[in-house]
Amino acid sequence: MSNKRVAYYYDNDVGLYTYSTSHPMKPHRMRITHDLISAYGMLDKMHVLKPKRASPETMASFHTDEYVHFLKRVTPETHSQLTYNQTRFLTIEDNPTFEGLFEFCSISAGGSVGASQRIASGEADIAINWAGGLHHAKKREASGFCYVNDIVLGILELLRTYTRVLYVDIDCHHGDGVEEAFYTTDRVMTCSIHKFGDFFPGTGTQRDLGKGKGKGYAVNIPLKDGVTDESFRSIFDPVIGKILDVYRPSVVVLQCGADSLAGDKLGCFNLTMEGHAYCVQYFRKANLPLILLGGGGYTVKNVARAWTYETACALGIEDKLNVNLPWTEYFDWFGPRYRLEVSENNMVDLNIKDGVLDQVRTKALKQLNELQSAPSVGMHDVPRESVGEHLGFAKDEEEGRDSLDASVAQHARFVYNLQEAETRSEDSDDPDGYRWDSDNSIASSSRRRHAPKASKKRMSIMTNQYYDIPSYENGFEYAIPDKPESQRRFFQSVARWDTRYQRVVVPGREVSPIPKSLYSRHEPRSAVVTSGARYFDDEELGDEEEEDVGSMEDDEEATSDTPETESGDVDEILSC
């Protein structure tokens, strides 16, 4: 077996963060894994790199600006305010807000983006980022302990160089975030082998094939509890082999979620350490550029064992490892056996009953057989770097975006979307009724857009139970006033545009003088009255030639069709 150039990404700070003391996700597992890898002497055989932390701009290549801005600002103290009482971004019990959340995400995402760049540049054959693999994060919300989808960010970087990317996910949970991101393209094929049923995230059936150009390029292998090494290999070998033959990927991204190991706190598979690492060995022998990422795994000592062993598989030295663990700072965590092994338990494999495994395998192979051939990619310009990077400017020398404009735009968008389109009818018998100006297509579209949104359902990764998310309006105490008459559409105005004089006119209000250039040749050089708005000649308002053009001393004059004012009261004149 030829030697591979392996790049290993690790930032020691990643182990300092904690979701909460009782939360099953433990970032500290990365530090335990790293210490065990170091104790086995593997660091000297790899190019060890500290990843450059991902910037908000990098995250925004997939996630929305609004969501990235939220992650950058949110703290445990401001969480309720910024999520509008937990109706936005899904930072709830599964995905709590903790100190240093953005920094944690930037480390995880930075490692995966760096690994992709290393592979794309040809400087490594295999790149490893065990802090990555957070495959549930969505474009605009957190999900399943994942906030930023580093996998999608890494694949987007690979697509700058490679024509086709194969993503394989062996986490016990379906890789829904990655599949969703590339559901409509044929440049990325996603293959997820996962538990399906009453299990988070509740997606990943074999009916989910992709859409549009991506139809057929989403491969799902839904399994039942108790998958053993033998059952796993009986479906992994033929399906992945067929994918390599048909799709012919240029590079492979393997998510090595360790919750598919036997004895995991949240997983329900029964794989041994060797059975799990078989996937790494398989792709190493395929001689394709390979990126290894972490993912789930909630029995910390087994996570460290598996990822240490799989690092050795990437180096091709797994047979040389001593099964007895070397001494590390976390040696006591591996008791009572202190061995490099994860054995299967007595869980029953439900996949061999009623021919379930054969049915899933047959259906997956049929889907792949229907693909004509590897999709071709037309010639495109390589995406250019930013002007600042091209000119060699440091990041802090580049002109930053106006954060005030971004904040104002974000808030205006929130308010506009969450307001009811029209005021409630005071005469209506229906307290929830609406008053519409018309029933045309524009009003109907507005009504649909602004109607109270139905409660959304999500599944908890910890309980595997569905729960409701309150609609957005419930999070805005000021969005639905107590008094119906106080409700009104934002930016409502009685002003109109005067096409004759090219200015805004407010009926009943006096405006600034009309420039001489706008006077009609036939218009008298005196006050011009238009729709209740009075314009004054600039000569009439001269410093020494001002005359009293009227007063409003009695009710009759005040109600006249032509409102008047004292010429000396300049402050009362509205400038348009």
The Cβ of residue 321 has, within 10 Å, a number of other Cβ atoms equal to: 18
Number of residues that this document lists for the chain: 576
Nearest to 147 by CA among 115, 188, 105: 105
Nearest to 145 by CA among 274, 13, 330, 294: 294
> Cβ(86)–Cβ(470) under 8 Å?
yes
**Model pLDDT for residues 505-563, shown as the tens digit of each residue:** 767 666 555 555 555 544 444 444 444 444 444 444 444 444 444 444 444 444 444 44
Question: Interhelix angle for 101-120 vs 150-158, to 10°?
Answer: 20
Query: Is pLDDT at 436 greater than 50 in this prediction?
Result: no
The pLDDT, as a whole number, for residue 83 is 72
CATH code for the domain defined by 6-369:
3.40.800.20
317 falls in which pLDDT band (50, 70, 90)? Answer: very high
Structure tokens at 104: 């944690």
Structure tokens at 175: 């890789």
Residue 230 makes CB contacts below 8 A (sequence gap 6+) with none
> Cβ(368)–Cβ(243) under 8 Å?
yes
Q: Where in the chain is the domain with CATH 3.40.800.20?
A: 6-369
- The CA-based angle 319-322-328, given to 5 degrees, is 130
Return d(Cα 543, Cα 539) in angstroms, integer.
Answer: 9
Active site residue 28: no
450 falls in which pLDDT band (50, 70, 90)? Answer: very low
Residue 54 makes CB contacts below 8 A (sequence gap 6+) with 105, 106, 109, 110, 113, 148, 150, 153
Measuring CA to CA, how many Å separate 223 from each of 236, 255, 349, 356, 464? 12, 17, 10, 8, 16
SS3 label, residue 219: strand
Return d(Cα 308, Cα 288) in angstroms, integer.
Answer: 21
Return d(Cα 224, Cα 567) in angstroms, integer.
Answer: 86
Q: How high is the mean pLDDT of the chain?
A: 79
Is 0.75 topped by the overall pTM?
no
Query: Is pLDDT at 338 greater than 70 in this prediction?
Result: yes
Set 34, 79, 136, 276: catalytic member: 136
Q: Could you tell me what percent of the chain has a pLDDT over 90?
A: 58
